[in-house]
Structure formats: structure tokens, C-alpha cells
């Protein structure tokens, strides 16, 4: 199982003082040396953490796998085509949200997304869609030619009761099985941490996890090397 480490939170700390440190590119190098399989970074419309120059420098530096999260806007498509990350993950984006709040509504914007995916794939970039564990949405991801789905695990991570947790886990599992059946690559992410990741690792169809907050949070106390290695250990199958 592969691990993509999201380094946006390093840039969030930098932006707290609008200075030059800590550098998300340095974090990406350390995560890579610790054994991460790739780096994830979200260039938001408001540039609240990662800036265009960070993304450019990440592309020059990350030789493993660079996954650029972005909204499906014309501005971002142009930046992606110029930057050439290995993969783009299309996410919904709201200015007022603290973090991505849910999967992309593919059904209601399929024509637009199909065009975005076509343009990105023509530039040699793989495309993943951040999707809720919803069979209809996943079916649509396949119809519009996505390569991957990233199943949104946020509701699982936020479950308040055992029954809610089991229900969410079941939805994720069904979505992963369905996605794989359709020939999509299947990854998962959002809200995963050192306490809740095991149950997701147990779902065989999920090939990759993208994790940010919990790894960078732990890294602030014990360093990136240990934080990444601790997570990789929990992801051993």
C-alpha cells in the first residue's frame, strides 16, 4: 500500500507569519527519505497555504510521485498542464471551508469534468477524483474517464458512534470494491490518523492513502522521519 504525504500544513505554518519557513519542499524531501511513496499538495484558489512557486519547486524536486489537488477550474487546469504533476486529484473547493469537506459532485457537473479530465490526460497527467463512497458517483467517475478515485474517508474519521463507524466503513469498502470492478485505481484519504488507519488498510482494494494533518501534526513533535515511518508501519499488510 502506497503513502502520499500531504505537505500543505507545513505551508500553513509558514503562512502564519508570512515568512519563508518552514519550507514545504524541505518537508517533501524528508518525507521522501523516510519512505513515503509520493507527495500531495493542494493549490487552492485563494493560495492560503501552497503558492504557485511551491508547486513549481515541488515538481522540480519530487521524483517519486507528485499528486496535485485542485478545483476543476480553467485556471488550475492551465497551471497543471504547465507544471505536469504525475497526477491531479480533482476536489470540490469552497473559500470558507477549513479543509475539503466532501467528495466532488460528479453527477451534476459531468460534462465540465469530462472536458477537464480530457485536457489533463491529453497532457499526460493521470486524473483522480475525490469522491464520496457513493456507488452512483463512482459509476460516473468511470463514465467520464477518470483513472482513479480517492474515496473520501472524512465521515468515517468523524463518526461519533460505533454503529456510525461500522456503517461508514462498510460504505468505503463497497465503494472500493465497486471502483476496482470498474477498472479504476482506488485510493483513500481525509481525516486518517494513527488511530483509525488500520481499518482502512484492511480494505484490500485500496492501493494508496493520502494523509496530511495527522502526519504533519506528529512531525511537529517528533520530526517528519519518525512521523512518516510510524504511519508506514501501520500500513504494512
Per the residue annotation, which of 9, 42, 49, 152 is the catalytic one? 42
**Residue from 69, 93, 140, 205 carrying the catalytic annotation:** 69
42 as an active site residue: the answer is yes
Q: Is 152 marked active-site?
A: no
Task: Rule CB under 6 A: say whether 218 interacts with ligand PXP.
Answer: no
SS3 string, the chain, reads CEEEEECHHHHHHHHHHCCCCCCHHHHHHHHHHHCCCEEEEECCCCCCCCCHHHHHHHHHHCCCCEEEEECCCHHHHHHHHHHCCCEEEECCCCCCCCCCCCCCCCHHHHHHHHHHHHHHHHCCCEEEEEECCCHHHHHHHHHCCCCEEEEECHHHHCCCCHHHHHHHHHHHHHHHHHHHHCCCEEEEECCCCCCCHHHHHCCCCCCEEEECHHHHHHHHHHCHHHHHHHHHHHCCC
Interacting stretch for ligand PXP, rule CB under 6 A, among 107-115, 141-149, 176-184, 185-193? 185-193
**Binding residues for ligand PXP restricted to 108-167, rule: CB under 6 A:** 130, 150
Residue 153 C-beta: closest distance to ligand PXP, Å: 8
Task: Show contacts with ligand PXP in window 81-110 (CB under 6 A).
Answer: 89, 91, 99-100
Active site residues: 42, 69, 190
Would you tell me which residues interact with ligand PXP (CB under 6 A)?
A: 6, 8, 42, 69, 89, 91, 99-100, 130, 150, 189-192, 210-214
Amino acid at each position: 500500500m502506497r503513502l502520499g504525504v500531504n505537505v500543505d500544513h507545513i505551508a500553513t505554518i509558514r503562512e502564519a507569519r508570512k515568512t519563508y519557513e518552514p519550507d514545504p519542499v524541505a518537508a517533501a524531501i524528508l518525507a521522501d527519505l523516510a519512505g513515503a511513496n509520493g507527495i500531495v499538495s493542494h493549490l487552492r484558489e485563494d493560495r492560503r497555504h501552497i503558492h504557485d512557486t511551491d508547486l513549481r519547486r515541488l515538481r522540480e524536486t519530487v521524483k517519486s510521485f507528485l499528486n496535485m489537488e485542485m478545483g476543476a477550474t480553467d485556471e488550475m487546469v492551465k497551471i497543471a498542464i504547465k507544471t505536469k504533476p504525475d497526477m491531479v486529484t480533482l476536489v470540490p473547493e469552497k473559500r470558507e471551508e477549513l479543509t475539503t469537506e466532501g467528495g466532488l459532485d460528479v453527477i451534476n457537473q459531468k460534462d465540465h469534468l469530462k472536458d477537464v479530465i480530457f485536457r489533463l490526460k491529453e497532457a499526460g497527467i493521470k486524473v483522480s477524483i475525490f469522491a464520496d463512497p457513493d456507488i452512483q458517483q463512482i459509476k460516473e467517475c468511470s463514465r467520464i474517464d477518470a483513472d482513479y478515485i480517492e474515496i473520501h474517508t472524512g465521515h468515517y474519521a468523524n463518526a461519533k458512534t460505533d454503529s456510525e463507524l461500522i456503517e461508514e466503513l462498510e460504505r468505503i469498502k463497497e465503494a472500493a470494491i465497486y471502483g476496482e470492478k470498474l477498472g479504476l485505481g482506488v485510493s483513500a484519504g481525509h481525516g486518517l490518523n494513527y488511530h483509525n488507519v488500520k481499518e482502512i488498510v484492511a480494505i484490500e482494494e485500496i492501493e494508496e492513502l493520502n494523509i496530511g494533518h495527522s502526519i504533519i501534526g506528529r512531525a511537529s513533535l517528533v520530526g517528519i522521519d519518525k512521523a512518516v515511518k510510524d504511519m508506514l508501519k501501520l500500513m504494512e499488510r
